[in-house]
């Protein structure tokens, strides 16, 4: 059910959940101070209780109420990138509910870049919101995706198609060195330039698993099996398979062949919608042209991370 900003704020105040648009993906939001509403988020998503939620704020002053924002790095980054696709993990304030942080001493916070959602959060106060998909499904980038997963009764604020289409960069500022726990549109290079220090972006080792619980779970998977196109495979396109190219332009095309012609931002924006469309059309396979070096586009590490996690093995 599509609702407006006013209604969304009312629903949040009455301790119920609502899906809100952001520039990355739609979020399933609950008042960050309501255990009842937060429980509904975990139940609806069938999300494991040990996977913490991101708190969404309408500005830096709301962030101060949730986290210990004392570091200079926080202020530099929030001033530069908020509102925007950067989530900052900080030591939490004592009042932040354990259900949000999964019992961790830190809380993840971001200010999303969508006028409707900022208007809602200004009225309701901070909301905790995971992506508004059922756990294990691709994140929703259009209002229809949310309704497909949860049914027409779920209230959704229609903010159109998400402009970034991949989840935010998660940066942990609570340790001795800043560490990227999940790559997104804001890159390590951009962050280093603002704070003037090295950011670690190591792959998921044991330590990182502890710090970013979400990386433990299988994610971003459509029902069709996803794989990279082998460089030695033939050029013929079989029906029942979706082919995605970003650089190469094959001679044999059709409506199951998608071309991005070097536009990696458009590819990122469309990825989850293509996964969902492939499932609707009952495609068995999704084959993707291997991605080039990150120097071609700053979104490539995030795109690679999401595709790699959805590849069948």
DSSP conformation class of 103: T
**Tally of CB atoms within 10 A around 215:** 18
Give the residue, chosen from 113, 167, 273, 289, that forms a contact with ligand TXA under the rule CB under 6 A. Answer: 167
Mask 260-299, x = binds ligand TXA (CB under 6 A)?
Answer: ----------------------------------------
Q: Which of 255, 252, 256 is nearest to 287 (CA)?
A: 256
- Tell whether residue 131 is a contact of Mg ion (CB under 5 A): yes
> In angstroms, what is the minimal distance from the CB of 98 to Mg ion?
20
* End-to-end Cα separation, the chain, in angstroms: 37
Stretch that binds Mg ion, among 38-46, 70-78, 123-131, 253-261 (CB under 5 A): 123-131
Stretch that binds ligand TXA, among 2-10, 81-89, 189-197, 225-233 (CB under 6 A): 81-89
CA dist list (Å): 52 to 48, 131, 134, 221: 9, 12, 15, 20
SS3 80: helix
Q: Residue 113 is encoded by which pair of tokens? A: 């870049």
Contact positions with ligand TXA (CB under 6 A) in 232-261: none
- Tell whether residue 27 is a contact of ligand TXA (CB under 6 A): yes
Stretch that binds ligand TXA, among 45-53, 243-251, 267-275, 303-311 (CB under 6 A): 45-53
Q: Which of 278, 276, 277, 266 is nearest to 303 (CA)?
A: 266
In angstroms, rounded to a whole number, what is the distance separating the alpha carbons of residues 163 and 241? 26
Which residue is it, tokens 């979020």?
27
- Tell whether residue 181 is a contact of ligand TXA (CB under 6 A): yes
Task: Decide: 131 and 140 in contact? Cβ < 8 Å.
Answer: yes
**Tally of CB atoms within 10 A around 36:** 11
Question: Residue 298 binds which entry of ligand TXA, Mg ion, none, with Cβ cut-offs from 5 to 8 Å by kind?
Answer: none
Contact positions with ligand TXA (CB under 6 A) in 87-146: 87, 89, 101, 104, 106-108, 112, 129-131
Binding site for Mg ion (CB under 5 A): 131
Residues that bind ligand TXA (CB under 6 A): 22, 24-25, 27, 51-54, 85, 87, 89, 101, 104, 106-108, 112, 129-131, 167-168, 170, 181-182, 211-214
């Amino acid at each position: 059910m599509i609702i407006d900003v006013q209604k969304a704020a009312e629903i949040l105040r009455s301790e119920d959940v609502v899906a809100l648009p952001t520039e990355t993906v739609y979020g399933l939001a609950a008042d960050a101070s309501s255990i009842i509403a937060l429980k509904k988020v975990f139940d609806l998503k069938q999300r494991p209780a040990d996977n913490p939620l991101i708190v969404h704020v309408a500005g830096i002053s709301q962030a101060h109420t949730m986290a210990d924002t004392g570091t200079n790095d926080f202020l530099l980054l929030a001033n530069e990138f908020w509102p925007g696709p950067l989530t900052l993990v900080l030591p939490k304030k004592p009042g932040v509910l354990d259900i949000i942080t999964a019992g961790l001493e830190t809380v993840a916070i971001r200010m999303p870049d969508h006028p409707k959602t900022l208007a809602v959060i200004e009225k309701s106060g901070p909301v905790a919101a995971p992506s508004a998909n059922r756990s294990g499904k691709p994140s929703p980038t259009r209002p229809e995706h949310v309704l497909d997963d949860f049914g027409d009764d779920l209230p959704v604020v229609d903010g159109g198609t998400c402009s970034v289409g991949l989840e935010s960069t998660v940066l942990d500022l609570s340790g001795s060195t800043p560490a990227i726990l999940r790559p997104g549109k804001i890159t390590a290079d951009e962050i280093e330039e603002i704070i003037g220090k090295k950011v670690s972006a190591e792959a998921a080792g044991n330590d990182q698993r502890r710090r970013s619980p979400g990386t433990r779970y299988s994610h971003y998977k459509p029902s069709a099996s996803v794989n990279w196109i082998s460089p030695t495979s033939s050029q013929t396109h079989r029906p029942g398979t979706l082919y995605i190219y970003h650089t190469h332009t094959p001679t044999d095309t059709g409506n199951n062949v998608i071309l991005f012609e070097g536009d990696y931002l458009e590819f990122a924006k469309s990825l989850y919608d293509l996964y969902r469309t492939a499932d609707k059309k009952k495609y068995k396979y999704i084959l993707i042209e291997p991605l080039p070096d990150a120097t071609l586009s700053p979104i490539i590490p995030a795109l690679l991370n999401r595709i790699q996690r959805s590849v069948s093995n």
